[in-house]
Chain A
């Protein structure tokens, strides 16, 4: 069996299986500190602001946003891509690290996957809301109808997008739930109160831990894992085609699919980092989410940030090298310089420069620094999407059409709302669901522990 003394134990403090169970379930049993209701309140407030903005948008029209006849897509799409990106963390974590046999993922992937689900839900809001006639959104389903039947346009990246997002949401959700089955059973068998027992019994689908269950469980998770691996790559590639298939300068670029996927994993991991650092601090789970884990994520982030930097450079280079005057203008006079230059340089600094701090071990092992850097990456990735969406549109082919874009409170409101939604989701998850894959933890508990010898 795989074992490494160099990396040190995956679970510290030489825990017994019983302890592991108790530690992980603890937050669900005991009353939480004051911080929980406070944060929950804030998230709810944000959610309400968001709901109001959505109401106004649907009631009055997209006119309440900052978009115009030149810049047809604004914050809504920026946020959509951003959330989807974050939504890649969980699945990427589980799948890639599974494939790479990285056992340390076990203590993190549950939370990461939960995050995925909430992020994708937040993301899925925007494409619906930015429709002029959201009440006719069902037109996008290719279902037999009385209009001919008139099917949909299968050439449209937006349709690809729609299918991809739906599939991704469903699969990551089921993958997440499947992973939870044994733990829900554990909670069921551990809990004393009748209601809890009944509740968790219902949701654990009658799991017993029989070898028959385990064998099928494992092969199914491998199937889903294998498939989801393809999906993780394809989903954001497809989101990328929304732009790459477009004809606008700054959109029409073959680098986009891989560039987007990497970016997505970048922001996803950053978000995982943010949450992990916090959860770890709040729940004192330092034995399970060890410094080594965070260190590992930080290393990955450096690597990806280098890729991002290269991508940005190569984009600019190709714009110059192609000699396409429109591309040249977009990159050199509307991004590097020009009206939205702040957003461009902000992106560069946050995504390509700041993460380089992780070269220092001290910083990799200081939770404050980790938090700061991971947050700056999240901001940077948002700015990247802003650059791609707005600065390509606002000054494109015909100068007569050039316009500028400024968001309205409603734009902002919808975004804040999704942040709130995400917050609520995460908080509920922390309260009612085992935050770490207990069974998986047990399977790796002895690795690197004295128990072995």
Chain B
């Protein structure tokens, strides 16, 4: 089924922010906003938050334990060998490897998680509401499918009042984002 959207294009950051504020005051559901660079206020307004750091923390925890366990197993249990008069479990030597491997694991894992959660991977094509969003425009997208025509009109008006340089209506067969 097709979904219709009302898209407001802003060329100025401040106006764009106030636009969002306005819509929210009027209890409009903002589908999403697109900006050429991260605008932190938006995150607060749209209550966007990421749990990546927490995940990364646990990746790290796992990596440390796994590495140490591996080192101990290989050099003490499986095939103990004497190197330069050192004991089999020469812990100080293991620290370095542990640090590096932990960093390694965390990076890989977080990257994987990131691309999985935000559906970003080679060849992926997400719906682009307006091309200028990656250049110099700030874009607010309101889904009008879920509301009556009148309120949809109002949403457009509100954005115009806040200085949207352009209001576009778009239909999409299916949304990928």
Asked whether any CB of A lies within 8 Å of a CB of B in the complex, the reply is: yes
Q: Does B35 make an interface contact (CB < 8 A)?
A: yes
Q: How far is the CA of A219 from the CA of B122 in the complex (A)?
A: 21
Give the residues from 399 to 453 in chain A that come closer than 8 angstroms, CB to CB, to chain B: 438-440, 442-443
Chain B neighbourhood of A220, CB < 8 A: 50, 52, 110-111, 114
Q: Does B118 make an interface contact (CB < 8 A)?
A: yes
Minimum distance in angstroms from B170 CB to a CB of chain A = 14
Q: Are B136 and A210 in contact (CB under 8 A)?
A: no
Q: Are B35 and A167 in contact (CB under 8 A)?
A: no
Q: Are B110 and A186 in contact (CB under 8 A)?
A: no
Q: How far is the CA of A238 from the CA of B96 in the complex (A)?
A: 8
Q: Are B42 and A211 in contact (CB under 8 A)?
A: yes
Tell which of B1-9, B73-81, B148-156 binds the partner: B73-81
Count A interface residues, CB 8 Å. Answer: 63
Quick one: which of B43, B83, B117 contacts A155, CB cutoff 8 A?
B83
Q: Are A151 and B79 in contact (CB under 8 A)?
A: yes
Give the residues from 77 to 120 in chain A that come closer than 8 angstroms, CB to CB, to chain B: none
Tell me whether A182 and B134 are in contact in the complex, defined as CB-CB below 8 angstroms, given that A164-B100, A211-B35, A219-B53 are known contacts: yes
Q: In chain B, what residue has the closest Cβ to A151?
A: B74
Q: Are B124 and A206 in contact (CB under 8 A)?
A: yes
Q: Are B52 and A154 in contact (CB under 8 A)?
A: no
Q: Are B107 and A170 in contact (CB under 8 A)?
A: yes
Minimum distance in angstroms from B24 CB to a CB of chain A = 13
The proximity string for B residues 38-54 relative to A, scoring 1 for CB distances below 8 Å and 0 otherwise, is 11001100101110110
Q: Does B172 make an interface contact (CB < 8 A)?
A: no
Minimum distance in angstroms from A58 CB to a CB of chain B = 28
Q: How far is the CA of A124 from the CA of B135 in the complex (A)?
A: 37
Give the residues from 16 to 57 in chain A that come closer than 8 angstroms, CB to CB, to chain B: 16-18, 20-21
Quick one: which of A18, A155, A206, A438 contacts B93, CB cutoff 8 A?
A155
Q: Are B101 and A155 in contact (CB under 8 A)?
A: no
Q: How far is the CA of A201 from the CA of B56 in the complex (A)?
A: 28
Q: How far is the CA of A37 from the CA of B143 in the complex (A)?
A: 51
Chain A neighbourhood of B107, CB < 8 A: 167, 170-171, 174, 224, 227
Q: Are A155 and B99 in contact (CB under 8 A)?
A: no
Most buried by A among B90, B100, B133: B100
Q: In chain B, what residue has the closest Cβ to A17?
A: B136
Q: Does A209 make an interface contact (CB < 8 A)?
A: yes
Q: Does B61 make an interface contact (CB < 8 A)?
A: no
Q: How far is the CA of A150 from the CA of B127 in the complex (A)?
A: 52
Minimum distance in angstroms from B161 CB to a CB of chain A = 22
Minimum distance in angstroms from A162 CB to a CB of chain B = 10
Q: Are A210 and B134 in contact (CB under 8 A)?
A: no
Q: Are A234 and B100 in contact (CB under 8 A)?
A: yes
Quick one: which of A205, A208, A219 contacts B127, CB cutoff 8 A?
A208
Chain B neighbourhood of A17, CB < 8 A: 36, 135-136
Q: Are A208 and B133 in contact (CB under 8 A)?
A: yes
Chain B neighbourhood of A8, CB < 8 A: none
Q: How far is the CA of A207 from the CA of B131 in the complex (A)?
A: 11
Q: How far is the CA of A171 from the CA of B81 in the complex (A)?
A: 33
Quick one: which of A185, A190, A227 contacts B103, CB cutoff 8 A?
A227
Q: In chain B, what residue has the closest Cβ to A163?
A: B100
Q: Does B174 make an interface contact (CB < 8 A)?
A: no
Q: Does B167 make an interface contact (CB < 8 A)?
A: no
Quick one: which of B33, B37, B49, B131 contacts A439, CB cutoff 8 A?
B37
Most buried by B among A149, A167, A218, A222: A167
Minimum distance in angstroms from A383 CB to a CB of chain B = 28
Q: In chain A, what residue has the closest Cβ to B81?
A: A153
Quick one: which of B36, B43, B53, B120 contacts A442, CB cutoff 8 A?
B36
Q: Are B114 and A216 in contact (CB under 8 A)?
A: yes
Minimum distance in angstroms from B96 CB to a CB of chain A = 5
Question: 7 interchain pairs (CB within 8 A)?
Answer: A178-B111, A202-B123, A208-B133, A211-B34, A219-B53, A223-B106, A440-B37
List the 8 closest pairs (A to B, CB-CB), nearest first: A17-B136, A206-B124, A151-B74, A205-B120, A439-B37, A219-B50, A443-B37, A206-B126
Besides A189-B135, A214-B39, 7 other CB < 8 A contacts? A17-B36, A163-B100, A170-B104, A171-B107, A181-B120, A202-B123, A208-B126
